[in-house]
Amino acid sequence: MADVNRGNRPLSPHLQVYRLPLAAITSIMTRITGHALVAGIVLIVWWLVAAVASPGAFACADWVMRSWIGFIVLTGSMWALWYHLLSGLRHIFFYDAGHGLEIAQAERSSQILIAGSVALAVLTLIIFFAF
Amino acid sequence: MRYITPRKAAEGLGSAHSGTQHHWAMTVTGVALAILTPLFMIVIARAIGLPRELVLAYFGRPFQALITGFFIIVGMLHFIKGTRIMIDDYFQGGVRKAAVIISVIFGWAVIALTVYALARMGLGAIVVL
């Protein structure tokens, strides 16, 4: 390795100074939404266990569930769930199957992924408050 | 002497010899969750705001209990395998081991709590009948 010229080769940009392309952002967002969903699951399971535990425990969990904190966690989880679902479908039907891997195609599917998840989240909220 | 071709010995195995199964498990649980997610959202959305007695009766009914149980169990199995990929990517050595153990225990604890809550609600309804 000693005789390899290391001086004037092009260097790959470091992650911290590299502006991530949209496809990379939607990719890492899949992992982030998947792990963030723990918050929603913990809240719902706590609420279910509190319901069978005692009236006092349920009152406490139900208060959190119906507070603005609960609204933010549940609405956020709902969007994260739609995002993660759509992204998972993209994996199964496109990336894992070897389709849509060109830069332009990945860019396009990323735009659809973001728009689709927001549209489904808004639709879910409308249906929730209308019925 | 092995009467097996190198290709046959390697087929279906990644460099770690277990990645294929992991990936396939994520695909199977992912497909199940894609179907369960809208149903689970409806079940939870209709339960929010109910008083305690009605929450107990609501999740004691077959559809609500089965969708909730199915979603949480498959979801946490998907979570355990999903976090494993994240942990393998970002952590090494003892921290990685500890993180994997915590993730698996957490996933199964959530499953156990859900099954316990649903069983309490469901069995209550049978006793009343």
Contact of A21 with A107, CB cutoff 8 Å: yes
A8 has pLDDT over 70? yes
A57 has pLDDT over 80? yes
**pLDDT at B87 (0 to 100):** 96
What ipTM was assigned to the predicted interfaces of this complex?
Answer: 0.87
Residues of each annotated binding site of A for heme = 84
A30 has pLDDT over 90? yes
Alpha carbon A48 to its chain's center: 24
For the stretch B101-110, pLDDT in tens is: 999 999 999 9
Residue of chain A whose alpha carbon sits nearest to that of B24: A92
Nearest CA of chain B to the CA of A98: how many Å? Answer: 15
d(CA B101, CA B84): 10
What is the pLDDT averaged over residues A32-38?
A: 97
Name the residue among B79, B120, B126 with its Cα closest to residue B103.
Answer: B79
Looking at the domain that runs over A20-130, which CATH code has it been given? 1.20.1300.10
Alpha carbon A59 to its chain's center: 30
* Cβ-based contacts of B82 with chain A (< 8 Å): 34-35
All residues at 6 or more sequence positions from B20 whose CB lies less than 8 Å from its CB, including other chains? B12, B13, B14
Contact of B109 with B41, CB cutoff 8 Å: no
Contact of A90 with A109, CB cutoff 8 Å: yes
All residues at 6 or more sequence positions from B65 whose CB lies less than 8 Å from its CB, including other chains? B59, B118, B121, B122
Q: Is residue B96 packed enough to be buried (19+ CB in 10 Å), middle (13-18) or exposed (0-12)?
A: middle
Boundaries of every domain in chain A: 20-130
What is the pLDDT averaged over residues A58-80?
A: 97
* Cβ-based contacts of A58 with chain B (< 8 Å): 52, 55
Boundaries of every domain in chain B: 19-128
> What pTM was computed for the model?
0.87
| Contact criterion met (CB < 8 Å) for A34 and B82 | yes
Contact of B29 with B80, CB cutoff 8 Å: no
* Cβ-based contacts of B37 with chain A (< 8 Å): 81-82, 85
| Contact criterion met (CB < 8 Å) for A92 and B117 | no
**pLDDT at A1 (0 to 100):** 52
Torsion of CA A51, A52, A54, A60, to 10 degrees: -20
pLDDT tens, chain B, 129 aa long = 678 888 888 777 777 777 788 999 999 999 999 999 999 999 999 999 999 999 999 999 999 999 999 999 999 999 999 999 999 999 999 999 999 999 999 999 999 999 999 999 987 655 554
All residues at 6 or more sequence positions from A92 whose CB lies less than 8 Å from its CB, including other chains? B27, B30, B31
Does residue B127 sit at the A interface (CB-CB below 8 Å)?
Answer: no
* Cβ-based contacts of A51 with chain B (< 8 Å): 52, 55-56, 59, 117, 121
CATH 1.10.287 for the B19-128 domain, yes or no? no
Nearest CA of chain B to the CA of A104: how many Å? Answer: 25
